[in-house]
Structure 1
Amino acid sequence: MEESEFYESLEQLKKEANASPSGAEEAASVEKSEPVSIPKRRGKIKYKIYGLHLSDPKWSEVADKIHDAEEVIWPQEPKPISGKCKLITERILSLNENDDPSPLMAEWTELLQPTRIDWITLLDKLNDKNRFLYLKVAELLLNEESFETNIRDYSKLVDVHAKENRLEDAERILKMMNEKGLTPDILTATVLVHMYSKVGNLDRAKEAFDTLRSHGFQPDEKVYNSMIMAFVNAGQPKLGESMMREMEARDIKPSKDIYMALLRSFSQRGDISGAGRIAATMQFSGISPSLESCILLVETYGLAGDPDQARNNFDYMIKIGHRPDARCTASMVAAYGKKNLLDKALNLLLQLEKNGFEPGVETYAALVDWLGKLQLVDEAEQLLGKIGAHREMSCLLRFILASVICTQELGSRKRRYQRSGYCYSWWLCAGC
């Protein structure tokens, strides 16, 4: 009985072992059939990196701006050109200055459907090969829709024409710009200030300068220099000086050339006070008096009829180490001539001669002019022997000599010149 029970128990275990996989599968199927779901999240997802809440909507705007900036930093590549379009491109590049590029540009546009970067690539090639054709095509593109023209395109063309002294072309571009309803920006107004100042159109230069100020732009040194030179060339040095004072108030130091231009303008008008102010400002700015500035002061006082102050500046020039030249000495002689101070003029020449100075043509011309006004023909003739060796003597000096001679008896004077070996007609005509 015990053995039979033992075998029966083995068979029972075997049956249970065979039946267990199906039961496990049923249990697994029961487990799989049970529904499984993730609990729902309440509220918005918040992404936080280094303390920045990237889930904020503003970061989407930042991403868009970064994308736009990338397009500027890494611009799009131009379209590849091949086939017929390539042939037309070569024909455009081979055009002459007098050819009309419009038909080829229209055909090129139809084939390529270009964007702005394609047009810019073509313009760069034209600029390298034919500058004049480049300007012509660039002007035509101002009306091209696919070029996406902006105000900077206009200002670039105006700047190019202005630098090459093509005023009419620059004004034509400016007119096109105004017709499109575009008002000159700061860059364009700056170009116009330089252009109109250079050609001497003071009214238009002032208009462009006022446009700059209306934009709230503070003029830089170059703009100030252009406006000052415009005032100087228009004969209004006082307005130029006021512009210079405005520069100094803004801690912009004028250049030596600006000071000299103002000093020269005041000197030409005999404006003692204006020239004195500029000279004092130059010294205060640390600019040492040069030979040119000293000569201009001498000329200023000479034109104003103050030979004593002219002589003081003349002596000061020598004191600081500048050697007077023929022009400066002529200015002193002319200053004495206005007051008929012949003795002082002769003493000056004698003193300079002792120091090794040799009068030049300009000095002799001033003396001859003075002696002619005094009707001292004999003295003028004596100068003739001294200046006969100066072959570079100007036509003006010959005319002055002839005028002096003609005030007396022409016949006798002519015979005297012929006897002394000088040809009267040569003095009138030679070298003119």
Structure 2
Amino acid sequence: MRLSASQIFMGTYVSNAVCFRYPHPVNPIINESKKTHYRQFSGNTFWAVPISYGHLGQRPLMAISVAETAMTENTEGQPRFKWGVIGPEITEAQQEAIDQLPPKMSKRCQALMKQIICFSPEKGSLCEVLDAWVNIMKPSRADWLAVLKELRIKDHPLYLQVAEIAILEESFEANLRDYTKIIHGYGKQNRIEDAEKTLSNMKSRGFICDQVTLTAMIDMYSKAGRLKLAEDTFEEIKLLGQQLDKRSYGSMIMAYIRAGMPDQGESLLLEMDAQEIYAGSEVYKALLRAYSMIGDTEGAQRVFNALQLAGISPDAKICGLLINAYGVSGQSHKARAAFENMRKAGLKPSDKCIALMLAAYEKENKLQMALKFLMGLEREGIMVGKEAAETLAGWFTKLGVVEEVDLVLREFAANEANSGIPAS
């Protein structure tokens, strides 16, 4: 299968791209007889030589300075990567990216960043770039982390590929959380197979999964709609024998919400409450929204009450979700009650809330009630905004009375003034 340069550069095919030119360093707890592998420079090629601890005095040959050329060759003996040579073909965007590198970043890290910014498959593989950097610069873990942080901040397309290669380097001194970050990164891109491979590689190196890593997997499965895998991973967390934290619970609740099963999510919320573990406000809002969208007023009201017990003060957006639940279910009188309760609590109704109230009246074709509602707001100095106006205009369009809107409002206002009927 032939690959385009863009596929290779973006890492869409070369997932989990690592350099297998030397055995993986393993967890010393698992394998006490590990060997240290030093790279030696022979001709134009870097290669790894396993040596025993009795030969630590033998040092690999290395370049005298950064300016000295480090080159690798392909199987045909042709040069593939030449370190430090950034030719005149550099683009304006690349030069701008180089100019924006942090001034406090060490020169060795800046040297690698420049190579990555100007990287192209025609010059060699990314593995070769990093291999040359390791041999010439002898980076520490701090250097690796500085480079990865900059790539992550810049949202560089090679960030995860560099991280996958780095994690196998002894100088990187990988730990469990390093793997978790990669898994989380793949999860954000919905690259499930790559995340699972990273998890498998992590386990093969003797690292034991903890609650944080497994929660990252639940997040990924949840967003990808893989409910069964999320449930299985949640059960795996329980088998760790530790008390589940709010992140793990929250991730599983979100998985149920995305799967259209808010009642299952609410059951976990109750389980949390029993243990005095309170979810974040975003979980309550997501659960309330799920009930609101399907018009489940009882569920919406329960969650609305629960979030207040959890110490979360409702805002206009949260109140809007409750109003919407009653509106969708065809209970405009209860939607209006929720609207007025919001105002009594000292919250100014947003344009969204007004639009939801109008939609509730429209559902039950209560035009007179809607006009009465609007006139009352106008008297109190609350003007209709864009969304509410569009909702009203859409309603009148369906009724075929667009041109008569102004006349109807004027007549309604006059009748109300003559009759003395309150607006709300």
TM-score relative to the length of structure 1: 0.56
Query: Which residue is equivalent to 2:13?
Result: none
| Cα pair distance change 1:212/1:362, threshold 3 Å | same
For residue 170 of structure 1, the aligned residue among 182, 185, 195 is: 195
Any residues of structure 2 matched to 1:21-420 within 5 Å, and which? 84-87=61-64, 91=70, 94=112, 96=116, 97=119, 98=121, 99-100=124-125, 122=140, 124-129=142-147, 131=151, 136=161, 139-140=164-165, 152=176, 155-156=179-180, 158-159=182-183, 161-162=185-186, 165=189, 167=191, 169-176=194-201, 184-198=209-223, 201-380=226-405
Cα displacement (A) at 1:248 = 0.8
| Matching residue's letter, 2:143 | K
Which stretch shows the higher mean deviation, 165-174 or 249-258?
165-174
- Higher-Rg structure is 1
Contact 2:164 2:182 in 1 (8 A): no
**Distance in 1 between the 2:282 and 2:196 partners?**
29
Cα displacement (A) at 1:344 = 1.4
| Cα pair distance change 1:365/1:134, threshold 3 Å | closer
Higher helix share: 1
Higher strand share: 2
Find the residue that maps to 2:242 and give its secondary structure: coil
**Distance in 2 between the 1:105 and 1:377 partners?**
67
| Matching residue's letter, 2:61 | K
Taking only aligned residues, the RMSD between alpha carbons, in angstroms, comes to 4.4
**Distance in 2 between the 1:124 and 1:311 partners?**
59
Contact 2:144 2:172 in 1 (8 A): no
**Distance in 1 between the 2:203 and 2:175 partners?**
11
**Distance in 2 between the 1:101 and 1:140 partners?**
9
Cα displacement (A) at 1:159 = 3.9
Contact 1:193 1:208 in 2 (8 A): yes
| Cα pair distance change 1:189/1:285, threshold 3 Å | closer
Contact 2:190 2:220 in 1 (8 A): no
**Distance in 1 between the 2:330 and 2:234 partners?**
38
Query: Percent same amino acid at aligned positions?
Result: 33
**Distance in 2 between the 1:324 and 1:167 partners?**
42
Find the residue that maps to 2:365 and give its secondary structure: coil
| Cα pair distance change 1:80/1:266, threshold 3 Å | farther
| Cα pair distance change 1:333/1:181, threshold 3 Å | same
Cα displacement (A) at 1:267 = 1.0
**Distance in 2 between the 1:261 and 1:344 partners?**
31
| Cα pair distance change 1:182/1:84, threshold 3 Å | closer
Contact 1:126 1:133 in 2 (8 A): no
Find the residue that maps to 1:322 and give its secondary structure: coil
Cα displacement (A) at 1:271 = 0.9
**Distance in 2 between the 1:209 and 1:330 partners?**
40
Contact 1:231 1:240 in 2 (8 A): yes
**Distance in 1 between the 2:129 and 2:57 partners?**
18
Contact 1:241 1:262 in 2 (8 A): yes
Contact 2:358 2:392 in 1 (8 A): yes
**Distance in 2 between the 1:287 and 1:167 partners?**
35
Select the structure with the greater relative contact order (CA < 8 A; seq sep ≥ 6).
Answer: 2
**Distance in 1 between the 2:144 and 2:57 partners?**
18
Query: Which residue is equivalent to 2:40?
Result: none
| Matching residue's letter, 2:176 | R
Q: Number of aligned residue pairs: give it.
A: 302
Find the residue that maps to 2:61 and give its secondary structure: helix
Contact 1:232 1:240 in 2 (8 A): yes
**Distance in 1 between the 2:177 and 2:292 partners?**
43
| Cα pair distance change 1:86/1:137, threshold 3 Å | farther
**Distance in 1 between the 2:400 and 2:281 partners?**
43
Find the residue that maps to 1:85 and give its secondary structure: coil
Find the residue that maps to 2:260 and give its secondary structure: coil
Unaligned residue ranges in structure 2 (runs of 5+): 1-31, 33-52, 71-82, 84-110, 152-156, 411-424
Q: Deviations over 1:66-123 (max 9, x none)?
A: xx9xxxxxxx9xx8997732559985875545543656888999x99xxxxx99x555
Cα displacement (A) at 1:164 = 6.2
Query: Which residue is equivalent to 1:394?
Result: none
Contact 1:259 1:282 in 2 (8 A): yes
Cα displacement (A) at 1:194 = 3.4
**Distance in 2 between the 1:357 and 1:135 partners?**
51
Query: Which residue is equivalent to 1:21?
Result: none
